[in-house]
Amino acid sequence: MAIVWWLIVVFRGPLQSAVRKVHLPTWVKYFLLGLFFTDVVMENLAVSFHGDLNPNIFLNSFLWIGAYLGVLLGWWLVARWYRVTPSQVFFLYGISGVIAEQNLMVPKMLFHGQIPTALLTIPLLIVVYGTAVAPVFVILEDELPRLERRLNLIGGVIATLLPMGLFYALAYPWFRFAALLGLKIPS
């Protein structure tokens, strides 16, 4: 994921130019690019192309659409309230990953005194989660609104918690929809 982030930053100009030539509303580009980076790139790299919800990689990606739409909706809303930079998105969504990954794994490690393990895990999670969403903000940097209100402490808390909350809020109805289609979701 670090290589993906590096490639996005290094080739930001050509990527921005290519996406600017696509004549779709910015919100459509945002959600399409966002699903590509969250559901196709990050999800598959994070699970080493072995689906975590379904062994079929395509079905696995389908099952995660709702959750990642929630994340992207959260960041879309944050970007409508505050001016956010790609670096802020990278680090704040990375912090969300540190908090939430594997059912609060890092907070549990810290609580149980496994500080060295937690300190080694934190940078990895920041890179994985940050690279899931921040590339969209790099690629669409010139197309997203430039608000006057800068991200402050309250905005940082909102930016950390809202996408995380919407991840779960949209995952549930999407999983229910998938179940109606006959897909099994592990509990």
Question: pLDDT tens for residues 64-81?
Answer: 999 999 999 999 999 999
pLDDT at residue 186 tops 80:
no
Count of domains forming the chain? 1
With respect to residue 145, please indicate whether it lies within any of the assigned structural domains.
yes
DSSP letter for each residue of 92-136: HHHHHHHHHHHHHHHHHHHHTT-HHHHHHHHHHHHHHHHHHHHHH
CA distances from 43 to 49, 53, 67, 125, 157 (A): 8, 11, 11, 13, 25
Residue 72: inside a domain: yes
Length of the chain: 187
CB 26 within 8 A of CB 143: yes
**Domain region containing 42:** 26-93+129-180
Whether residue 15 is contained in a domain is answered as: no
In a domain, 100, yes or no: no
Q: What is the residue whose two structure tokens read 């689906």?
A: 51
Q: How many Cβ atoms sit within 10 Å of the Cβ of residue 123? A: 12
- Asked if the model's pLDDT at residue 164 lies above 70, the reply is yes
Structural domain includes residue 79: yes
Q: H or E element: which one contains 20?
A: helix 12-20
The pLDDT-based confidence of 187 (bands split at 50, 70, 90) is: low
Sign of CA dihedral 52, 126, 97, 102: positive
Residue 2 lies in a domain: no
Mean predicted confidence (pLDDT) in 87-95:
96
Residue 14: inside a domain, yes or no?
no
Does 63 map to a domain? Answer: yes
